[in-house]
Amino acid sequence: MSILEQLKARQLVYGVTDTQLQDVLNNQTVTFYVGIDPTADSMHIGHLIPLLVSRHLAKAGHRPIVVIGGGTGLIGDPSGKSEERNLLTLEETMANAKGLSEQVRRIVPEAHIVNNLHWIQSFDLITFLRDIGKHFSLNTMLAKDSVKNRLEHGISFTEFTYQIIQSLDFLELYRREGCTLQIGGQEQWGNITAELELIRKTEGHEAKAYGLVIPLITKEDGTKFGKTASGAVWLDQNRTTPYEFYQYWINLDDATALARLGQFSLQPLETIESLRHKMAETPHLRHAQKALAEELTHLIHGEHALKQVQNITQALFAGDVRSLDLEEIEMGFKGIPAHETMASMPLVDALIELGLSSSRREARTHIEQRAVSVNGEKKTDIEA
């Protein structure tokens, strides 16, 4: 099975800009790129898919480049946005780019990482307008979904020009690195086709370049995958702890977990099919959720963090928190209501302070009924 067919089998292909791409990937070593704008100092799991596609392509012998948008990030991509982004400073953008680069190295260790600020900042206004801007039709730009969807509520000239500035990435990589393929999300289709057109107009119609577009990953209710009630599921452990990250995958419903197996797992298709059979036979064992949680936690946070979250999960299931170290306790109990004191406190008072009992009488009743545990140990002494 060819690499493009494998990606299709994993439901990772929304479309390609040229049907010749399959033959090209089969018969040539292709240099390709993925772009990430540094709008934050961490990616969330919605960013994972194009990077995982990059891993599949790299395994098939192709050469990945990841472009951190230090230049485009200063402008703001209107794609998929209903309102104007807040503009970042150069210092914020570069700090964010540093954090993203570290995450990319873990996910796609084969990638050559570049920052598009290096070539974007070299353009003066006149050169940009004469050599680049003249190749873009205003009518075509207005027809792009990323622009058209914003016209009713308004779009600034700054964001309107994003598609021109982003087009410089593919052109520069084509010239500098021999890059002939861009990978992007479904919402990037208009930007990618604009970039291909710029390459043809500047390098000649014999210049061959391609786009591979990944479908938008959504949940069954149509909302964006990777979001929770409290926001995004981040890859940075200071934003989303490894335990929260692990639990996100564990708590997927069966249908969603089965759909995500092919998309998010780097395991062979045969292994994924085996997991699907196990889910059909014994769904209560949550094979798909566990496989995703373990593989992705290991990929993003490493072996040590995976062991920690497995320790936490086991300890909470068994009610034995005494087996956890301080770091594991802080991770596993993040967000749980807490009261901090430097002094010894009667258990009855502790239950009231924590809001677990509404009165001393209720607290004593809870203790007498063996409803209270401290560090996993049942307490029945109301004087404790």
What DSSP string runs through 193-208?
A: HHHHHHHHHHH-TT--
One-letter identity of residue 139: N
67: phi then psi, degrees, rounded to nearest 5: -100, 115
pLDDT at residue 377 in the model: 84
pLDDT at residue 287 in the model: 97
**Tens-place pLDDT, residues 203-240:** 998 999 999 999 988 766 777 766 666 678 999 999 99
Beta bridge partners of 225: none
**Tens-place pLDDT, residues 260-310:** 999 999 999 999 999 999 999 999 999 999 999 999 999 999 999 999 999
pLDDT at residue 338 in the model: 78
Count of other CB atoms within 10 angstroms of residue 324: 21
Contact between 30 and 180 under an 8 Å Cβ cutoff? The reply is: yes
State how far the Cα of 364 lies from the Cα of 344, in Å rounded to an integer: 18
Comparing CA positions, the residue from 62, 310, 264, 260 lying closest to residue 179 is 62
State how far the Cα of 137 lies from the Cα of 153, in Å rounded to an integer: 22
Chain length of the chain:
384
pLDDT at residue 228 in the model: 65
State how far the Cα of 13 lies from the Cα of 7, in Å rounded to an integer: 6
Helical (H) or strand (E) element with 347: helix 347-353
pLDDT at residue 139 in the model: 84
Residue 20 CA to chain centroid, in angstroms?
A: 29
Three-class secondary structure of residue 64 per DSSP: strand
Distances (CA, A) of 35 to 24, 32, 46, 257: 21, 10, 13, 27
One-letter identity of residue 360: R
One-letter identity of residue 34: V
pLDDT at residue 161 in the model: 84
> What burial class does residue 206 get, using C-beta atoms within 10 Å of its C-beta: 0-12 exposed, 13-18 middle, 19+ buried?
exposed
Please state the pTM of the whole predicted model: 0.85
* Strands of the chain, DSSP E: 15-16, 31-36, 63-68, 112-115, 181-185, 210-214, 227-228, 231-232, 373-374, 377-378
Regions of the chain with pLDDT less than 70:
77-85, 219-220, 225-230
pLDDT at residue 347 in the model: 95
DSSP 128: I
pLDDT at residue 229 in the model: 60
- Which are the contacts of 283, defined by CB distance < 8 A and separation ≥ 6? 254
Residue given tokens 């069966």 in the structure block: 254
The two tokens of residue 254 are 């069966």
